[in-house]
Amino acid sequence: MTVPPVSKQKLRLIYYSKELGSPNNSLCDWINRKTISSSRLNFGLKINKHHDHRHREVLVMSQKQIDPNWAWRPYAPSTDQPWNLQRVTHLYRRLGFGTDWETLNAGLSITPDQLVNDLVFASPESESFQIEMKAMSRAMVATGNPHGLASAWLYRMINTTNQLQEKTTLFWHGHFATGAQKVQDVFMMQQQNELLRKHALGDFNEMVQGISKDPAMLLYLDSATNRKTHPNENYARELMELFCLGEGNYTEQDIRELAKCFTGWEVRSRRFRFNKYQFDTGAKSFLGTTGELTGEQAVSHVLSQPTAPIFIAQKLVRFFVMDEPQPSAELVAPLAQQLREDNFNVAKTLKVILGSNLFFSDLAIGMKVRSPVELVTTLLRSLNGTSSMDLLTAGLHDLGHSIFFPPSVKGWDGGRTWINSSTLLGRANLVYRVLRNEKTQFGGGTLTEYASKQELSSLTDVADRLIQQLFAVPISNDIRDEIVSSSTEQFSQREEQLRSLIHTFTSLPQFQLS
Protein backbone atom coordinates (compact mmCIF):
# COMPACT_ATOMS: atom_id res chain seq x y z
CA MET A 1 0.00 0.00 0.00
CA THR A 2 1.28 3.42 -0.92
CA VAL A 3 2.12 5.66 2.01
CA PRO A 4 0.75 9.17 1.40
CA PRO A 5 3.00 12.11 2.27
CA VAL A 6 0.39 13.25 4.76
CA SER A 7 -0.45 10.47 7.18
CA LYS A 8 -3.97 9.20 7.79
CA GLN A 9 -3.69 10.52 11.33
CA LYS A 10 -2.84 13.99 10.03
CA LEU A 11 -5.68 13.88 7.52
CA ARG A 12 -8.12 12.76 10.18
CA LEU A 13 -7.02 15.70 12.33
CA ILE A 14 -7.73 18.09 9.46
CA TYR A 15 -11.10 16.53 8.72
CA TYR A 16 -12.35 16.31 12.25
CA SER A 17 -10.94 19.44 13.83
CA LYS A 18 -12.04 21.79 11.08
CA GLU A 19 -15.10 20.31 9.42
CA LEU A 20 -16.60 17.10 10.75
CA GLY A 21 -16.88 17.94 14.42
CA SER A 22 -16.42 14.66 16.23
CA PRO A 23 -14.02 11.78 15.56
CA ASN A 24 -17.02 9.50 16.08
CA ASN A 25 -18.37 10.67 12.73
CA SER A 26 -16.82 8.76 9.85
CA LEU A 27 -15.78 10.39 6.61
CA CYS A 28 -18.41 8.32 4.82
CA ASP A 29 -21.09 9.66 7.16
CA TRP A 30 -19.88 13.18 6.41
CA ILE A 31 -20.34 12.59 2.69
CA ASN A 32 -23.79 11.16 3.35
CA ARG A 33 -24.75 14.24 5.35
CA LYS A 34 -23.53 16.51 2.59
CA THR A 35 -26.28 15.12 0.36
CA ILE A 36 -28.85 16.72 2.68
CA SER A 37 -28.02 20.39 2.49
CA SER A 38 -30.57 23.07 3.26
CA SER A 39 -31.65 24.82 0.10
CA ARG A 40 -31.27 28.56 -0.22
CA LEU A 41 -33.75 28.66 -3.04
CA ASN A 42 -37.04 30.49 -2.79
CA PHE A 43 -39.47 27.64 -3.33
CA GLY A 44 -39.80 26.72 0.33
CA LEU A 45 -37.74 23.59 0.87
CA LYS A 46 -36.68 23.03 4.46
CA ILE A 47 -34.43 20.06 5.15
CA ASN A 48 -33.07 19.21 8.56
CA LYS A 49 -29.58 17.95 7.82
CA HIS A 50 -29.06 16.67 11.36
CA HIS A 51 -31.50 13.78 11.01
CA ASP A 52 -29.11 11.62 9.00
CA HIS A 53 -31.01 8.40 9.67
CA ARG A 54 -33.95 9.88 7.82
CA HIS A 55 -32.03 11.35 4.89
CA ARG A 56 -33.70 9.21 2.23
CA GLU A 57 -37.17 10.03 3.47
CA VAL A 58 -36.27 13.70 3.70
CA LEU A 59 -34.91 13.79 0.17
CA VAL A 60 -37.94 12.02 -1.26
CA MET A 61 -40.23 14.37 0.61
CA SER A 62 -38.31 17.43 -0.57
CA GLN A 63 -38.35 16.27 -4.17
CA LYS A 64 -42.14 16.12 -4.10
CA GLN A 65 -42.16 19.82 -3.26
CA ILE A 66 -40.21 20.78 -6.37
CA ASP A 67 -42.36 22.29 -9.07
CA PRO A 68 -41.40 20.44 -12.31
CA ASN A 69 -42.15 23.53 -14.35
CA TRP A 70 -39.73 25.54 -12.22
CA ALA A 71 -37.16 22.74 -12.27
CA TRP A 72 -36.76 22.58 -16.05
CA ARG A 73 -37.27 26.24 -16.81
CA PRO A 74 -34.07 27.86 -18.19
CA TYR A 75 -31.83 29.15 -15.42
CA ALA A 76 -31.75 32.95 -15.28
CA PRO A 77 -29.01 34.49 -13.11
CA SER A 78 -30.22 36.54 -10.16
CA THR A 79 -28.86 38.15 -7.02
CA ASP A 80 -29.53 34.96 -5.06
CA GLN A 81 -28.38 32.61 -7.83
CA PRO A 82 -25.65 34.51 -9.75
CA TRP A 83 -23.79 33.32 -12.82
CA ASN A 84 -20.41 32.84 -11.20
CA LEU A 85 -17.31 30.67 -11.34
CA GLN A 86 -18.91 28.06 -9.08
CA ARG A 87 -21.70 27.45 -11.57
CA VAL A 88 -19.39 27.44 -14.59
CA THR A 89 -17.17 24.79 -12.97
CA HIS A 90 -20.29 22.85 -11.93
CA LEU A 91 -21.41 22.75 -15.56
CA TYR A 92 -18.03 21.55 -16.83
CA ARG A 93 -17.78 18.90 -14.09
CA ARG A 94 -21.18 17.44 -14.84
CA LEU A 95 -21.36 17.54 -18.62
CA GLY A 96 -17.73 16.54 -18.95
CA PHE A 97 -14.60 16.05 -16.90
CA GLY A 98 -13.72 19.57 -15.81
CA THR A 99 -11.62 22.08 -17.69
CA ASP A 100 -8.72 24.50 -17.35
CA TRP A 101 -8.74 27.95 -15.76
CA GLU A 102 -8.74 29.90 -19.00
CA THR A 103 -11.74 28.01 -20.37
CA LEU A 104 -13.67 28.51 -17.14
CA ASN A 105 -13.19 32.26 -17.30
CA ALA A 106 -14.15 32.32 -20.97
CA GLY A 107 -17.37 30.54 -20.03
CA LEU A 108 -18.04 33.08 -17.32
CA SER A 109 -17.88 35.87 -19.90
CA ILE A 110 -20.93 34.63 -21.84
CA THR A 111 -24.47 33.81 -20.77
CA PRO A 112 -25.41 30.43 -19.27
CA ASP A 113 -27.66 29.67 -22.23
CA GLN A 114 -24.88 30.44 -24.71
CA LEU A 115 -22.37 28.26 -22.87
CA VAL A 116 -24.75 25.32 -22.46
CA ASN A 117 -25.74 25.52 -26.11
CA ASP A 118 -22.09 25.68 -27.23
CA LEU A 119 -21.18 22.64 -25.14
CA VAL A 120 -24.22 20.50 -25.97
CA PHE A 121 -23.99 21.20 -29.70
CA ALA A 122 -20.19 21.32 -29.85
CA SER A 123 -18.28 20.92 -33.07
CA PRO A 124 -16.97 17.42 -33.84
CA GLU A 125 -13.47 16.56 -32.74
CA SER A 126 -10.78 17.63 -35.19
CA GLU A 127 -9.97 15.25 -38.01
CA SER A 128 -6.40 14.85 -36.74
CA PHE A 129 -7.62 13.90 -33.26
CA GLN A 130 -10.07 11.36 -34.68
CA ILE A 131 -7.29 9.84 -36.76
CA GLU A 132 -5.09 9.68 -33.65
CA MET A 133 -7.84 7.94 -31.68
CA LYS A 134 -8.54 5.42 -34.44
CA ALA A 135 -4.86 4.54 -34.64
CA MET A 136 -4.63 4.21 -30.86
CA SER A 137 -7.73 2.03 -30.70
CA ARG A 138 -6.50 -0.22 -33.52
CA ALA A 139 -3.22 -0.68 -31.69
CA MET A 140 -5.04 -1.59 -28.49
CA VAL A 141 -7.33 -4.02 -30.32
CA ALA A 142 -4.26 -5.68 -31.84
CA THR A 143 -2.93 -6.46 -28.36
CA GLY A 144 -6.12 -8.32 -27.47
CA ASN A 145 -6.09 -6.63 -24.07
CA PRO A 146 -9.34 -4.82 -23.14
CA HIS A 147 -7.50 -2.84 -20.46
CA GLY A 148 -5.49 -1.21 -23.24
CA LEU A 149 -8.76 -0.23 -24.86
CA ALA A 150 -9.79 1.35 -21.56
CA SER A 151 -6.52 3.32 -21.50
CA ALA A 152 -7.25 4.67 -24.98
CA TRP A 153 -10.72 5.76 -23.90
CA LEU A 154 -9.36 7.52 -20.82
CA TYR A 155 -6.93 9.39 -23.07
CA ARG A 156 -9.89 10.49 -25.15
CA MET A 157 -11.85 11.68 -22.11
CA ILE A 158 -8.92 13.79 -20.96
CA ASN A 159 -8.12 15.28 -24.36
CA THR A 160 -11.38 15.50 -26.32
CA THR A 161 -12.81 18.87 -27.33
CA ASN A 162 -16.32 17.39 -27.20
CA GLN A 163 -16.65 16.56 -23.53
CA LEU A 164 -20.39 15.94 -23.44
CA GLN A 165 -20.15 13.32 -26.15
CA GLU A 166 -17.61 11.34 -24.11
CA LYS A 167 -19.45 11.84 -20.81
CA THR A 168 -22.67 10.63 -22.40
CA THR A 169 -20.85 7.70 -24.01
CA LEU A 170 -19.68 6.79 -20.51
CA PHE A 171 -23.29 7.05 -19.32
CA TRP A 172 -24.50 4.68 -22.05
CA HIS A 173 -21.62 2.30 -21.29
CA GLY A 174 -23.10 1.91 -17.82
CA HIS A 175 -26.66 1.80 -19.15
CA PHE A 176 -25.97 -0.90 -21.77
CA ALA A 177 -23.38 -2.58 -19.56
CA THR A 178 -21.38 -5.24 -21.40
CA GLY A 179 -18.44 -7.09 -19.85
CA ALA A 180 -15.26 -7.89 -21.73
CA GLN A 181 -14.63 -10.83 -19.42
CA LYS A 182 -17.52 -12.71 -21.06
CA VAL A 183 -17.35 -11.32 -24.59
CA GLN A 184 -13.65 -12.25 -24.85
CA ASP A 185 -13.14 -10.13 -27.97
CA VAL A 186 -11.54 -6.68 -27.82
CA PHE A 187 -12.60 -5.81 -31.38
CA MET A 188 -16.26 -6.33 -30.51
CA MET A 189 -15.93 -4.22 -27.38
CA GLN A 190 -14.36 -1.42 -29.41
CA GLN A 191 -17.13 -1.64 -32.01
CA GLN A 192 -19.74 -1.31 -29.30
CA ASN A 193 -17.93 1.69 -27.83
CA GLU A 194 -18.00 3.38 -31.24
CA LEU A 195 -21.70 2.57 -31.58
CA LEU A 196 -22.46 4.23 -28.26
CA ARG A 197 -20.35 7.26 -29.18
CA LYS A 198 -22.06 7.59 -32.56
CA HIS A 199 -25.53 7.73 -31.01
CA ALA A 200 -24.60 9.20 -27.61
CA LEU A 201 -26.33 12.52 -28.25
CA GLY A 202 -28.53 11.42 -31.10
CA ASP A 203 -31.56 9.21 -31.61
CA PHE A 204 -32.15 6.78 -28.74
CA ASN A 205 -34.36 4.68 -31.04
CA GLU A 206 -31.43 4.09 -33.39
CA MET A 207 -29.14 3.36 -30.46
CA VAL A 208 -31.41 0.63 -29.09
CA GLN A 209 -31.88 -0.88 -32.55
CA GLY A 210 -28.10 -0.88 -32.93
CA ILE A 211 -27.30 -2.29 -29.51
CA SER A 212 -29.86 -5.06 -30.03
CA LYS A 213 -27.78 -6.29 -32.99
CA ASP A 214 -24.41 -5.45 -31.47
CA PRO A 215 -22.18 -8.57 -31.49
CA ALA A 216 -20.74 -7.85 -28.03
CA MET A 217 -24.22 -7.45 -26.54
CA LEU A 218 -25.51 -10.54 -28.36
CA LEU A 219 -22.73 -12.60 -26.78
CA TYR A 220 -22.91 -10.96 -23.36
CA LEU A 221 -26.63 -11.63 -22.89
CA ASP A 222 -26.63 -14.96 -24.75
CA SER A 223 -28.91 -13.65 -27.47
CA ALA A 224 -26.62 -15.17 -30.09
CA THR A 225 -27.88 -18.61 -29.02
CA ASN A 226 -31.57 -17.64 -29.14
CA ARG A 227 -33.31 -20.35 -31.23
CA LYS A 228 -36.95 -20.85 -32.11
CA THR A 229 -36.91 -24.26 -30.45
CA HIS A 230 -35.10 -22.97 -27.34
CA PRO A 231 -35.69 -19.22 -26.90
CA ASN A 232 -33.24 -17.43 -24.63
CA GLU A 233 -34.98 -14.76 -22.56
CA ASN A 234 -31.98 -12.83 -21.25
CA TYR A 235 -31.93 -9.99 -23.74
CA ALA A 236 -35.71 -9.62 -23.82
CA ARG A 237 -35.74 -9.23 -20.05
CA GLU A 238 -32.91 -6.70 -19.87
CA LEU A 239 -34.23 -4.73 -22.86
CA MET A 240 -37.38 -3.96 -20.90
CA GLU A 241 -36.09 -3.90 -17.32
CA LEU A 242 -32.70 -2.17 -17.64
CA PHE A 243 -32.59 -0.53 -21.04
CA CYS A 244 -36.03 0.89 -21.86
CA LEU A 245 -38.90 0.54 -19.37
CA GLY A 246 -37.75 -0.20 -15.85
CA GLU A 247 -38.80 -2.87 -13.40
CA GLY A 248 -42.51 -3.55 -13.00
CA ASN A 249 -43.59 -2.33 -16.43
CA TYR A 250 -43.85 -5.75 -18.08
CA THR A 251 -44.81 -9.33 -17.22
CA GLU A 252 -43.00 -12.64 -17.41
CA GLN A 253 -45.27 -13.52 -20.33
CA ASP A 254 -44.12 -10.36 -22.10
CA ILE A 255 -40.53 -11.55 -21.70
CA ARG A 256 -41.26 -14.98 -23.14
CA GLU A 257 -43.06 -13.54 -26.15
CA LEU A 258 -40.51 -10.79 -26.77
CA ALA A 259 -37.68 -13.35 -26.73
CA LYS A 260 -39.27 -15.09 -29.72
CA CYS A 261 -38.87 -11.89 -31.75
CA PHE A 262 -35.08 -12.11 -31.39
CA THR A 263 -34.70 -15.74 -32.39
CA GLY A 264 -32.23 -16.29 -35.20
CA TRP A 265 -30.10 -13.26 -34.31
CA GLU A 266 -26.55 -14.59 -34.39
CA VAL A 267 -22.90 -13.54 -34.49
CA ARG A 268 -20.76 -14.76 -37.35
CA SER A 269 -17.23 -13.54 -38.06
CA ARG A 270 -17.66 -10.83 -35.39
CA ARG A 271 -20.73 -9.46 -37.14
CA PHE A 272 -24.49 -9.66 -36.71
CA ARG A 273 -26.24 -12.21 -38.89
CA PHE A 274 -29.92 -13.02 -39.17
CA ASN A 275 -30.57 -16.76 -39.51
CA LYS A 276 -34.05 -17.00 -40.97
CA TYR A 277 -34.16 -20.74 -40.32
CA GLN A 278 -33.93 -20.15 -36.58
CA PHE A 279 -36.48 -17.31 -36.50
CA ASP A 280 -39.88 -17.93 -34.93
CA THR A 281 -42.31 -16.77 -37.61
CA GLY A 282 -45.42 -17.26 -35.49
CA ALA A 283 -47.52 -14.55 -33.86
CA LYS A 284 -46.23 -13.01 -30.63
CA SER A 285 -48.29 -11.21 -28.00
CA PHE A 286 -46.59 -8.79 -25.64
CA LEU A 287 -47.13 -5.35 -24.16
CA GLY A 288 -50.64 -5.15 -25.57
CA THR A 289 -49.95 -6.05 -29.19
CA THR A 290 -50.14 -9.23 -31.25
CA GLY A 291 -48.55 -10.00 -34.58
CA GLU A 292 -45.77 -11.72 -36.48
CA LEU A 293 -43.27 -9.16 -35.24
CA THR A 294 -39.62 -9.07 -36.23
CA GLY A 295 -36.93 -8.10 -33.74
CA GLU A 296 -36.74 -4.58 -35.15
CA GLN A 297 -40.51 -4.14 -34.86
CA ALA A 298 -40.40 -5.49 -31.32
CA VAL A 299 -37.78 -2.91 -30.28
CA SER A 300 -39.91 -0.12 -31.75
CA HIS A 301 -42.96 -1.38 -29.86
CA VAL A 302 -41.05 -1.47 -26.57
CA LEU A 303 -39.92 2.12 -27.12
CA SER A 304 -43.49 3.19 -27.89
CA GLN A 305 -44.57 2.40 -24.33
CA PRO A 306 -45.53 5.44 -22.20
CA THR A 307 -43.00 4.50 -19.51
CA ALA A 308 -40.00 4.49 -21.89
CA PRO A 309 -39.31 8.26 -22.00
CA ILE A 310 -39.98 8.53 -18.26
CA PHE A 311 -37.43 5.80 -17.53
CA ILE A 312 -34.74 7.35 -19.73
CA ALA A 313 -35.38 10.85 -18.36
CA GLN A 314 -35.01 9.53 -14.81
CA LYS A 315 -31.67 7.93 -15.61
CA LEU A 316 -30.36 11.06 -17.32
CA VAL A 317 -31.33 13.22 -14.34
CA ARG A 318 -29.73 10.83 -11.87
CA PHE A 319 -26.48 10.77 -13.85
CA PHE A 320 -26.20 14.47 -14.64
CA VAL A 321 -28.05 16.21 -11.79
CA MET A 322 -28.22 14.31 -8.48
CA ASP A 323 -27.51 10.81 -7.22
CA GLU A 324 -30.59 10.37 -5.09
CA PRO A 325 -33.38 9.92 -4.60
CA GLN A 326 -34.55 8.36 -7.84
CA PRO A 327 -36.21 11.25 -9.69
CA SER A 328 -39.97 10.83 -9.56
CA ALA A 329 -42.11 10.39 -12.66
CA GLU A 330 -43.80 13.68 -11.79
CA LEU A 331 -40.51 15.57 -11.65
CA VAL A 332 -39.28 14.31 -15.03
CA ALA A 333 -42.67 14.47 -16.78
CA PRO A 334 -41.73 17.59 -18.83
CA LEU A 335 -38.48 15.92 -19.91
CA ALA A 336 -40.27 12.72 -20.85
CA GLN A 337 -42.74 14.69 -22.90
CA GLN A 338 -39.90 16.44 -24.72
CA LEU A 339 -38.14 13.14 -25.38
CA ARG A 340 -41.30 11.76 -26.94
CA GLU A 341 -42.00 14.89 -28.99
CA ASP A 342 -38.39 14.97 -30.24
CA ASN A 343 -38.47 11.26 -31.10
CA PHE A 344 -35.97 10.47 -28.34
CA ASN A 345 -33.35 13.00 -29.36
CA VAL A 346 -30.90 12.93 -26.44
CA ALA A 347 -29.06 16.20 -27.10
CA LYS A 348 -32.21 18.33 -27.04
CA THR A 349 -33.27 16.86 -23.70
CA LEU A 350 -29.80 17.30 -22.22
CA LYS A 351 -29.87 20.93 -23.34
CA VAL A 352 -32.97 21.39 -21.15
CA ILE A 353 -31.47 19.50 -18.20
CA LEU A 354 -28.07 21.20 -18.24
CA GLY A 355 -29.53 24.68 -18.66
CA SER A 356 -32.24 24.35 -16.03
CA ASN A 357 -33.05 25.98 -12.71
CA LEU A 358 -32.67 22.64 -10.95
CA PHE A 359 -29.28 21.88 -12.46
CA PHE A 360 -27.79 25.20 -11.35
CA SER A 361 -29.47 25.13 -7.92
CA ASP A 362 -28.13 24.12 -4.52
CA LEU A 363 -30.13 20.91 -4.90
CA ALA A 364 -27.68 19.82 -7.61
CA ILE A 365 -24.32 21.47 -6.91
CA GLY A 366 -22.22 19.12 -4.79
CA MET A 367 -25.00 16.53 -4.72
CA LYS A 368 -23.20 13.75 -6.58
CA VAL A 369 -20.28 11.56 -5.57
CA ARG A 370 -17.49 11.59 -8.13
CA SER A 371 -16.97 8.28 -9.82
CA PRO A 372 -13.35 7.08 -9.87
CA VAL A 373 -13.20 7.89 -13.61
CA GLU A 374 -14.41 11.43 -12.92
CA LEU A 375 -11.92 11.81 -10.09
CA VAL A 376 -8.80 11.20 -12.20
CA THR A 377 -10.00 12.77 -15.44
CA THR A 378 -11.18 15.95 -13.71
CA LEU A 379 -7.88 16.36 -11.88
CA LEU A 380 -5.85 16.06 -15.07
CA ARG A 381 -8.12 18.07 -17.36
CA SER A 382 -8.42 20.90 -14.86
CA LEU A 383 -4.66 21.26 -14.52
CA ASN A 384 -3.77 20.66 -18.18
CA GLY A 385 -2.31 17.36 -17.06
CA THR A 386 -1.32 14.11 -18.71
CA SER A 387 -0.10 10.87 -17.19
CA SER A 388 0.29 7.16 -17.78
CA MET A 389 -3.09 5.88 -18.99
CA ASP A 390 -2.12 2.36 -17.98
CA LEU A 391 -1.54 3.61 -14.44
CA LEU A 392 -5.00 5.19 -14.42
CA THR A 393 -6.63 2.07 -15.81
CA ALA A 394 -5.05 -0.14 -13.15
CA GLY A 395 -5.99 2.31 -10.42
CA LEU A 396 -9.59 2.49 -11.58
CA HIS A 397 -9.77 -1.29 -11.54
CA ASP A 398 -8.70 -1.28 -7.89
CA LEU A 399 -11.43 1.29 -7.13
CA GLY A 400 -14.18 -0.77 -8.74
CA HIS A 401 -14.55 1.32 -11.91
CA SER A 402 -12.83 -0.83 -14.48
CA ILE A 403 -13.95 0.39 -17.90
CA PHE A 404 -15.31 -2.44 -20.09
CA PHE A 405 -15.63 -4.59 -16.96
CA PRO A 406 -18.92 -3.59 -15.29
CA PRO A 407 -19.79 -5.66 -12.22
CA SER A 408 -23.02 -6.92 -13.83
CA VAL A 409 -25.53 -6.20 -16.58
CA LYS A 410 -26.91 -3.52 -14.26
CA GLY A 411 -23.70 -1.57 -14.63
CA TRP A 412 -22.30 0.41 -11.71
CA ASP A 413 -24.66 1.52 -8.94
CA GLY A 414 -22.72 4.75 -8.53
CA GLY A 415 -23.51 7.40 -5.96
CA ARG A 416 -22.55 6.53 -2.42
CA THR A 417 -21.56 3.00 -3.38
CA TRP A 418 -18.30 4.49 -4.67
CA ILE A 419 -17.33 5.49 -1.14
CA ASN A 420 -16.20 3.38 1.79
CA SER A 421 -13.20 3.45 4.09
CA SER A 422 -11.15 1.35 1.67
CA THR A 423 -11.95 3.28 -1.51
CA LEU A 424 -11.34 6.64 0.18
CA LEU A 425 -7.77 5.61 0.92
CA GLY A 426 -7.51 4.00 -2.51
CA ARG A 427 -8.53 7.26 -4.18
CA ALA A 428 -5.88 9.16 -2.26
CA ASN A 429 -3.26 6.57 -3.14
CA LEU A 430 -4.12 6.72 -6.84
CA VAL A 431 -3.66 10.50 -6.91
CA TYR A 432 -0.38 10.04 -5.02
CA ARG A 433 0.88 7.63 -7.69
CA VAL A 434 -0.28 9.89 -10.52
CA LEU A 435 1.54 12.90 -9.06
CA ARG A 436 4.78 10.94 -8.83
CA ASN A 437 4.61 9.04 -12.11
CA GLU A 438 7.41 9.89 -14.54
CA LYS A 439 4.91 10.38 -17.38
CA THR A 440 2.83 12.91 -15.46
CA GLN A 441 3.12 16.49 -16.63
CA PHE A 442 1.08 19.63 -16.10
CA GLY A 443 0.98 22.09 -18.96
CA GLY A 444 3.81 20.13 -20.54
CA GLY A 445 6.16 20.44 -17.56
CA THR A 446 6.51 20.18 -13.80
CA LEU A 447 4.02 21.47 -11.26
CA THR A 448 6.44 24.26 -10.39
CA GLU A 449 6.59 25.36 -14.02
CA TYR A 450 2.82 25.09 -14.36
CA ALA A 451 2.21 27.23 -11.28
CA SER A 452 4.62 29.82 -12.64
CA LYS A 453 2.82 29.93 -16.00
CA GLN A 454 -0.45 30.41 -14.12
CA GLU A 455 1.16 33.25 -12.13
CA LEU A 456 0.52 31.47 -8.82
CA SER A 457 3.44 32.69 -6.74
CA SER A 458 2.60 31.20 -3.34
CA LEU A 459 1.23 27.90 -2.05
CA THR A 460 -1.81 29.79 -0.81
CA ASP A 461 -2.41 31.05 -4.34
CA VAL A 462 -2.23 27.48 -5.63
CA ALA A 463 -4.55 26.29 -2.86
CA ASP A 464 -7.13 28.94 -3.68
CA ARG A 465 -7.00 27.98 -7.35
CA LEU A 466 -7.48 24.30 -6.52
CA ILE A 467 -10.48 25.12 -4.36
CA GLN A 468 -12.06 27.20 -7.11
CA GLN A 469 -11.45 24.67 -9.86
CA LEU A 470 -11.89 21.31 -8.18
CA PHE A 471 -14.35 21.65 -5.32
CA ALA A 472 -18.14 21.74 -5.46
CA VAL A 473 -18.51 22.44 -1.74
CA PRO A 474 -16.78 25.14 0.33
CA ILE A 475 -13.39 24.66 1.96
CA SER A 476 -12.76 26.82 4.99
CA ASN A 477 -9.71 29.06 5.23
CA ASP A 478 -8.66 27.12 8.33
CA ILE A 479 -8.46 23.86 6.37
CA ARG A 480 -6.67 25.59 3.51
CA ASP A 481 -4.11 27.18 5.82
CA GLU A 482 -3.47 23.93 7.67
CA ILE A 483 -2.83 22.05 4.44
CA VAL A 484 -0.53 24.80 3.15
CA SER A 485 1.33 24.81 6.46
CA SER A 486 1.64 21.02 6.48
CA SER A 487 3.04 20.95 2.93
CA THR A 488 5.53 23.70 3.76
CA GLU A 489 6.71 22.04 6.97
CA GLN A 490 7.22 18.58 5.47
CA PHE A 491 9.06 19.54 2.29
CA SER A 492 11.65 22.12 1.34
CA GLN A 493 11.55 21.68 -2.45
CA ARG A 494 8.77 23.50 -4.28
CA GLU A 495 7.81 20.55 -6.47
CA GLU A 496 7.28 18.29 -3.46
CA GLN A 497 5.33 20.99 -1.67
CA LEU A 498 2.98 21.29 -4.64
CA ARG A 499 2.55 17.54 -4.90
CA SER A 500 1.76 17.33 -1.21
CA LEU A 501 -0.68 20.21 -1.48
CA ILE A 502 -2.62 18.67 -4.37
CA HIS A 503 -2.58 15.22 -2.85
CA THR A 504 -3.90 16.42 0.48
CA PHE A 505 -6.64 18.53 -1.08
CA THR A 506 -7.78 15.65 -3.28
CA SER A 507 -7.79 13.36 -0.24
CA LEU A 508 -10.37 15.51 1.52
CA PRO A 509 -13.92 14.16 1.69
CA GLN A 510 -15.14 17.38 0.07
CA PHE A 511 -13.23 16.51 -3.11
CA GLN A 512 -15.27 13.33 -3.48
CA LEU A 513 -18.39 15.39 -4.16
CA SER A 514 -19.23 16.86 -7.53
The Cα–Cα gap between 471 and 491 comes to 25
What local confidence, expressed as pLDDT, does residue 510 receive?
94
The Cα–Cα gap between 131 and 125 comes to 10
For the chain, the structural domain boundaries read 8-106+367-397+412-512
3-state secondary structure 384-425: CEECCHHHHHHHHHHCCCCCCCCCCCCCCCCHHHHCCHHHHH
The Cα–Cα gap between 284 and 484 comes to 68
Give the global pTM: 0.91
The Cα–Cα gap between 23 and 40 comes to 29
Burial class (CB in 10 A: 0-12, 13-18, 19+), 434: buried
CA atoms within 13 A on the CB side of 487: 24
Q: What is the pLDDT of residues 288-298, one digit of tens each?
A: 999 999 999 99
Query: Strand pairing partners for 268?
Result: 271
* CA distance to 46, 78, 288, 312, per residue, from 65 (Å): 10, 22, 35, 22
Lowest pLDDT segment from 2-11, 416-425, 444-453, 478-487: 2-11
What local confidence, expressed as pLDDT, does residue 28 receive?
52
397: pLDDT strictly greater than 60: yes
38: pLDDT strictly greater than 90: no
What integer best gives the mean pLDDT of the chain?
90
Q: How far is CA 314 from the centre of its chain?
A: 14
What local confidence, expressed as pLDDT, does residue 63 receive?
65
What local confidence, expressed as pLDDT, does residue 176 receive?
99
Backbone CA torsion sign across 192, 193, 198, 200 = positive
Strand positions, DSSP E, 414-503: 441-442
- Whether residue 264 contacts residue 275, with contact meaning beta carbons closer than 8 Å, is answered with yes
CB atoms under 10 Å from CB of 306, counted, come to: 10
More confident residue, 33 or 228: 228
What local confidence, expressed as pLDDT, does residue 49 receive?
38
382: pLDDT strictly greater than 50: yes
Mean pLDDT of 391-410: 97
- Whether residue 167 contacts residue 120, with contact meaning beta carbons closer than 8 Å, is answered with no
139: pLDDT strictly greater than 90: yes
Task: Report residue 29's pLDDT band, with 50, 70 and 90 as the boundaries.
Answer: low
More confident residue, 63 or 81: 81
What local confidence, expressed as pLDDT, does residue 52 receive?
41
Closest CA to 389 of 404, 400, 373: 373
348: pLDDT strictly greater than 80: yes
